[in-house]
């Protein structure tokens, strides 16, 4: 049990007052032997055992009454959060709120989402605990925002759901920066999240940096996690995987491919209506979902031949999570996909050029050219889908060109040159080549998402069959996508706010690896990078919510999407938007459909050494995190006082007991211990 006013518990020694008073009163009165009354003492001893018991009970109840009063004014809390408020009044309370799509999942039969439940629990809890300052850090990562009171969590637009995945390490970094820059006193950090893997990014090296920086803070910082890890088994999600505009002789069609995933454990076939909307025109298709996923490839939707570009939406009926029941898309005439290969080794560049120039779709034209770093100034970057860099890392001027290209959404793949050099790109550099006596294979890779993800049919890429004879080690903070033995990186991704930057630590040269002879992985890797870069070309863009667009969201106009979305949140809300002459489709990140909750032991590992506690809640739960129970102690005090009063009442004397002799009042009659006074209350004469 914890207390909001623990300082008042220092008064607990006062419960000894009744005992002290009793001892003092015993010394105030002395017994005087009176021969005429001696024969009455013998009769009184017969009831002394009961009198002693009553005296002890009176002392106990008086002591309990004082203890109950002290506990009541200390405002005790009933909670599973041990040590919740230990240490006194909080100077600053920082609330880290996960607003990602998975937080819209509702509790079974409640109609209340995890986000709603979390906001309500935090508001009611923090109102009880109190603080001098309240600060909000939320998913869209606009920085720490000071709020008026915890009640603001219930109604602020910045606590409403969005389509953006959360970045918990970045949010914790913002909280740390706020603590450092504002030099706060005692600080409490409350985290409300459903602890999904993609939101927490537990493998990131930033966690260790965060822990170390928290250790160095001079003020006390405590972390509390309000977790909603439960996943319902009645949710179905839909996602468009491909949209192509295809012209026939007299008309045009859209070829829409989509994926339906279900969490239901039943093996029975489920009939599901899928609604298609093309710029307001609706059609419906009924599909039978057997098993956990359904792939619908190239569903044909007729459109006007003059309709060169436009937008659409697919949706399924509402279920436990409304955030993944619809998906927006845009379409345009196929754009030419052009790849630049910067290489100082023309022979090694040949397989790269072949893989980039062979189109997987006959309706899409692909091309590739090889040039040197000195020729970059003449490149028309607006037509480039992918840059493959097989040369020493770029110098200052070339790096600036690449940075601008990436910031527009471009894709860059770096391969190691024969002479790595000392240059670095975005704090990542090549180290040295490592030669292997025998070829080694890939031990692990990310097949759930990313550029090496499984195919649409669910089949894994043959990454594990690759053989590597030479690789170049990497320096810098990157996210591994495929690793060799001893955790040596083969493919890696450099996190960026725009575009994509990848590193491959070997080359297609036969002396280095089997990327050429086992060409499936190389081809898929390059084509997926080209496809990701091609979405930035033309007049349409397919964007993941939260990935900042090339245009400022303030210039966007909403065409379709949530009616209550704020214009400042357009980049974080699923929907269709226009910016100048471009059409933009914004949707949740793919990881939102596939991520699972982190194990409890992994969460504990992330906060190792920090003052941390956790409680699990469920959406729709009516049970508060904490409850003040001072009323219970107040009632207990009243009961103790009433019992003490009853015990102190004098015992009624029956006629049979009244002999007419003078009666001596004892403790048995008057009750209060310590008042041992012998008095004569009645004098009568008896004739024998």
Given its phi and psi angles, is residue 426 left (phi above 0), alpha (psi -120 to 50 degrees) or beta? left
Tokens in use for 125? 């809890």
Query: What digits encode the pLDDT tens for the residues 34-82?
Result: 655 666 665 565 556 667 777 777 778 778 878 777 776 666 665 544 3
Residue with tokens 């469920």: 618
Query: What digits encode the pLDDT tens for the residues 609-667?
Result: 999 988 888 876 656 566 555 667 777 778 877 877 777 777 665 555 555 545 544 44
Say whether pLDDT at 282 is over 80.
yes
Say whether pLDDT at 357 is over 90.
yes
Q: Are 284 and 274 in contact (CB under 8 A)?
A: yes
CA distance 536 to 263: 33
Residue environment code for 270-285, b if the CB has 16+ CB neighbours within 10 A, otherwise e: eebebebbbeeeeeee
Q: Are 102 and 196 in contact (CB under 8 A)?
A: yes
Tokens in use for 547? 């990935």
Query: What digits encode the pLDDT tens for the residues 294-314?
Result: 889 889 999 988 888 899 999
Q: Are 571 and 553 in contact (CB under 8 A)?
A: yes
Terminal alpha carbon distance of the chain:
69
pLDDT classification of 688: cutoffs 50, 70, 90: very low
Q: What is the 3-state secondary structure (H, E, C) of 281-327?
A: EEEEEEEEECCCEEEEEEEEEEECCCCCCEEEEEECCCCCCHHHCEE
DSSP-derived secondary structure for 391-456: SSPP-HHHHHHHHHHHHTT-EEEEE--SS--S-EETTEEEEEEEEEEEEEE--EE--SSSTTPPPT
What is the 8-class DSSP label of residue 328? E
CA distance 179 to 201: 23
Query: What digits encode the pLDDT tens for the residues 473-525?
Result: 999 989 999 999 888 999 999 988 778 999 999 999 999 999 999 889 999 99
Q: Compute the 3-state secondary structure of the chain and give helix, strand, coil in percent, each to the nearest 5.
A: 30, 30, 40
Q: What is the 3-state secondary structure (H, E, C) of 572-625?
A: HCCEEEEECCEEEEEECCHHHHCCCECCHHHHHHHCCCCEEEEEECCCCCCCCC
Say whether pLDDT at 437 is over 90.
no
Provide, rounded to the nearest whole percent, the portion of the chain with pLDDT above 70: 81
Closest C-alpha among 335, 377, 390, 376 to residue 526: 390
- Which range (125-139, 166-180, 551-565) has the least confidence? 551-565
pLDDT score at 30:
61
pLDDT score at 508:
93
- Which range (101-115, 159-173, 214-228) has the least confidence? 101-115
The more confident residue out of 48 and 526 is: 526
Residue 176, Cβ density class (10 Å: 0-12 exposed, 13-18 middle, ≥19 buried): buried
CA distance 209 to 188: 19
Query: What digits encode the pLDDT tens for the residues 466-475?
Result: 999 999 999 9
271 vs 274, 410, 446, CA distance in Å?
10, 40, 32
Tokens in use for 144? 């720490």
Residue 684, Cβ density class (10 Å: 0-12 exposed, 13-18 middle, ≥19 buried): exposed
The more confident residue out of 671 and 430 is: 430
CA distance 160 to 165: 13
């Amino acid at each position: 049990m914890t207390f909001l006013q623990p300082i008042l518990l220092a008064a607990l020694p006062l419960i000894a007052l009744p005992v002290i008073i009793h001892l003092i009163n015993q010394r105030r009165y002395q017994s005087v032997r009176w021969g005429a009354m001696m024969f009455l003492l013998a009769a009184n001893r017969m009831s002394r055992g009961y009198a002693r018991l009553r005296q002890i009970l009176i002392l106990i109840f008086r002591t309990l009454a004082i203890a109950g009063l002290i506990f009541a004014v200390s405002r005790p809390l009933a909670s599973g959060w041990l040590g919740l408020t230990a240490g006194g009044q909080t100077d600053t309370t920082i609330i880290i709120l996960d607003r990602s799509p998975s937080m819209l999942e509702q509790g079974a039969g409640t109609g209340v989402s995890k986000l709603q439940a979390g906001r309500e629990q935090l508001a009611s809890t923090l109102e009880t605990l109190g603080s001098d300052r309240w600060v909000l850090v939320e998913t869209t990562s606009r920085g720490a925002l000071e709020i008026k009171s915890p009640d603001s969590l219930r109604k602020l637009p910045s606590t409403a759901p969005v389509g953006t995945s959360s970045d918990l390490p970045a949010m914790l970094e913002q909280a740390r920066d706020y603590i450092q820059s504002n030099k706060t006193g005692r600080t409490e950090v409350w985290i409300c999240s459903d602890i999904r893997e993609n939101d927490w990014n537990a493998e990131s090296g930033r966690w260790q940096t965060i822990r170390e920086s928290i250790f160095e803070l001079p003020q006390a910082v405590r972390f509390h996690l309000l977790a909603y890890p439960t996943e319902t088994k009645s949710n179905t999600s839909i996602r468009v995987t491909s949209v192509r505009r295809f012209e026939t002789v007299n008309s045009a069609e859209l070829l829409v491919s989509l994926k339906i995933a279900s969490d239901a454990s039943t093996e029975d076939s489920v009939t599901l209506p899928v609604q298609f909307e093309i710029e307001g025109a609706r059609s419906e298709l009924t599909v039978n979902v057997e098993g956990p996923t359904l792939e619908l490839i190239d569903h044909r939707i007729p459109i006007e031949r003059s309709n060169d570009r436009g937008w659409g939406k697919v949706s399924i009926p509402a279920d436990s999570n409304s955030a993944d029941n619809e998906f927006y898309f845009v379409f345009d005439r196929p754009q030419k996909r052009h790849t630049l290969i910067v290489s100082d080794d023309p022979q090694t560049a040949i397989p790269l050029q072949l893989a980039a120039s062979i189109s997987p779709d006959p309706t899409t034209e692909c091309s590739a050219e090889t040039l040197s770093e000195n020729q970059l100034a003449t490149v028309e970057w607006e037509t480039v889908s992918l840059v493959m860099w097989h040369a020493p890392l770029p110098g200052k001027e070339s790096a600036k060109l690449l940075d601008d290209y990436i910031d527009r959404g471009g894709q860059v793949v770096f391969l190691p040159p024969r002479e790595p050099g000392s240059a670095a790109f975005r704090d990542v550099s090549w180290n040295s080549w490592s030669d292997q006596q025998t070829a080694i294979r890939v031990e692990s890779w990310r097949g759930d998402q990313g550029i090496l993800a499984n195919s649409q049919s669910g089949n894994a890429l043959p990454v594990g069959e690759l053989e590597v004879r030479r690789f170049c080690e990497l320096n810098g903070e990157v996210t591994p996508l495929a690793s060799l033995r001893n955790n040596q990186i083969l493919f890696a991704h450099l996190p960026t706010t725009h575009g994509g930057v990848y590193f491959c630590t070997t080359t297609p040269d036969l002396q280095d690896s089997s990327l050429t002879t086992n060409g499936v992985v190389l081809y898929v890797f390059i084509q997926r990078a080209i496809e990701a870069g091609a979405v930035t070309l033309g007049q349409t863009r397919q964007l993941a919510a939260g990935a900042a667009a090339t245009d400022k969201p303030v210039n966007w106009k909403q065409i379709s999407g949530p009616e209550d979305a704020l214009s400042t949140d357009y980049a974080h809300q699923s929907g269709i938007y226009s910016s100048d002459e471009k059409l933009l489709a914004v949707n949740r990140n793919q990881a939102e459909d596939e991520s699972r909750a982190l194990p409890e032991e992994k969460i504990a590992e992330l906060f190792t050494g920090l003052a941390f506690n956790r409680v699990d809640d469920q959406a729709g739960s009516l049970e508060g995190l904490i409850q003040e129970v001072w009323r219970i102690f107040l009632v207990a005090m009243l009961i103790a006082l009433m019992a003490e009063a009853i015990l102190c009442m004098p015992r009624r004397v029956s006629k049979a007991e009244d002999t007419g002799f003078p009666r001596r009042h004892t403790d048995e009659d008057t009750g209060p211990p310590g008042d041992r006074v012998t008095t004569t209350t009645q004098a009568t004469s008896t004739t024998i």
